[in-house]
Amino acid sequence: MLTEHPVPTGPTHLQDRVPRVVGSGLTVPLVTGQRVPYANLDHAASTPCLVEVGQAVERLLPWYSSVHRGTGFTSRVATLTYERARDAVRRFVGAAPGATALFTRNTTDALNLLGRALPPHTTVIRFAADHHAALLAWRGSRVCRLGVPASPGQAVGLLAGALADAPRGPKLVVITGASNVTGELWPVAALAEAAAAHGARTVLDAAQSAAHGPLDIAAWGVDWVALSGHKMYAPFGAGALVGASDWLAGAEPYLAGGGASARVAEAEGRETVLWSGLPHRHEAGSPNVVGAYAMAVAGEALSATGWDVITAHERGLAARLRDGLARIPGVCPLGMWETGSPAVGVVSFGVSHCGGEPADQRLVATALSAEHGIGIRDGAFCAHQAVRALLCRVHRHQPGRALRASIGLGTTAEHVDRLLSALTELVAHGPRWTYRNTPDGWCPVPDPRPLPDFLEHRTLAAERARPEQKGCTP
Ligand code: PMP
pLDDT 10s digits, 78-96: 999 999 999 999 999 999 9
Q: Is the CB of 107 under 6 A from ligand 1?
A: yes
What is the model's pLDDT at position 459? 81
Q: Is the CB of 382 under 6 A from ligand 1?
A: yes
CA of 320 to the centre of ligand 1 (A): 25
Q: Which residues of 149-167 are buried (b: 16+ CB within 10 A; e: fewer)?
A: beebeebbebbbebbeebe
Distance CA 335, CA 338 (A): 7
The CATH T-level fold of domain 52-304 is: Aspartate Aminotransferase; domain 2 (3.40.640)
The CATH fold of domain 12-48+306-465? Aspartate Aminotransferase, domain 1 (3.90.1150)
Between CA 385 and CA 389 the distance in angstroms is 6
Give the pLDDT confidence score for residue 9 in this predicted structure: 55
Is the pLDDT assigned to residue 397 strictly greater than 80? no
Q: Give yes or no for residue 2 having a pLDDT over 60.
A: no
Task: For 175-223, write each residue's pLDDT tens digit.
Answer: 999 999 999 999 999 999 999 999 999 999 999 999 999 999 999 999 9
Residue 112 CB less than 6 A away from ligand 1: no
Mean pLDDT of 388-404: 83
- The model's confidence at residue 10, banded by pLDDT at 50, 70 and 90, is low
Q: How confident is the model at residue 472 (pLDDT cuts 50, 70, 90)?
A: very low
The CA-atom distances, in angstroms, between 376 and each of 40, 211, 369, 403 are 7, 19, 8, 7
Q: Which atom of ligand 1 is nearest to the CA of 133?
A: 10
Question: What phi, psi does 112 have (nearest 5°)?
Answer: -65, -35
Is residue 468's pLDDT more than 70? no
Ligand 1 close to Cβ of residue 131 (< 6 A): yes
Q: Tell me how far CA of residue 72 lies from CA of 3, 259, 293, in angstroms.
A: 54, 18, 19
What is the predicted pLDDT for the residue at 68? 85
Between the CA of 131 and the centroid of ligand 1 the distance, in Å, is 7
Beta strands at 270-275 and 261-267: parallel, antiparallel or unpaired: antiparallel
For the segment 102-119, what is each residue's pLDDT rounded down to a tens digit?
A: 999 999 999 999 999 999
Q: pLDDT grade, residue 473 (50/70/90)?
A: very low
Under 8 Å CB-to-CB from 72, ≥6 apart: which residues?
A: 65
Ligand 1 centroid to Cα of residue 395, in Å, is 28
Q: Looking at residue 467, what is its pLDDT?
A: 65
CA 329–ligand 1 middle distance (angstroms): 31
Tell me, what's the pLDDT at 14? 73
Confidence at residue 393, expressed as pLDDT on a 0 to 100 scale: 83
Q: Is the CB of 208 under 6 A from ligand 1?
A: yes
Ligand 1 in contact with 188 (CB < 6 A)? no
Best CA proximity match to 129, nearest among 166, 99, 159: 159
Vertex 75, ends 74 and 80: CA angle to 5°?
100
Q: Is 411 in the pocket of ligand 1 (CB under 6 A)?
A: no
Q: From the alpha carbon of 176, which atom of ligand 1 is closest?
A: 3
More confident residue, 469 or 42: 42
228 Cβ inside 6 Å of ligand 1: yes
Specify which residues 459 forms β-bridges with: 450
Residue 141 has pLDDT above 80, yes or no: yes
Q: pTM of the entire structure?
A: 0.94
User: Residues 72-80: what's their mean pLDDT?
Assistant: 96
The pLDDT of residue 6 = 45
CA 152 to chain centre: 21
Kindly report the protein residue whose alpha carbon is nearest to atom 5 of ligand 1: 180
Question: Given ligand 1 and candidates 228, 336, 377, 381, which is best to mutate, with the most ligand atoms within 8 Å of its CB?
Answer: 228
Distance in Å, CA 379 to ligand 1 centroid: 15
Percent of the chain at pLDDT exceeding 70: 95
Q: Please give the distance, rounded to the nearest whole angstrom, from the Cα atom of residue 119 to the centre of ligand 1.
A: 24
Distance from Cα 282 to the centre of ligand 1, integer Å: 20
Residue 284 CA to ligand 1 centre (angstroms): 23
Please state the rounded mean pLDDT for residues 285-313.
Answer: 97
Residue 385 scores a pLDDT above 70: yes
Mean pLDDT value of segment 132-143: 94
Residue 371 Cβ contacting ligand 1 at under 6 Å: no
Q: Give yes or no for residue 347 having a pLDDT over 80.
A: yes
Q: 466 falls in which pLDDT band (50, 70, 90)? A: confident
- Band (pLDDT 50/70/90 cuts) for residue 69 is confident
What are the extents of the domains in the chain?
12-48+306-465, 52-304
User: Whole-angstrom Cα distance, residue 379 to residue 404?
Assistant: 8
Which among 104, 109, 233, 382 is the best mutation to test ligand 1's pocket, defined by most ligand atoms within 8 Å of the CB? 382
Q: Higher model confidence: residue 156 or residue 457? A: 156
Nearest residue (CA) to ligand 1, atom 12: 107
- Eight-state DSSP code of residue 336: S
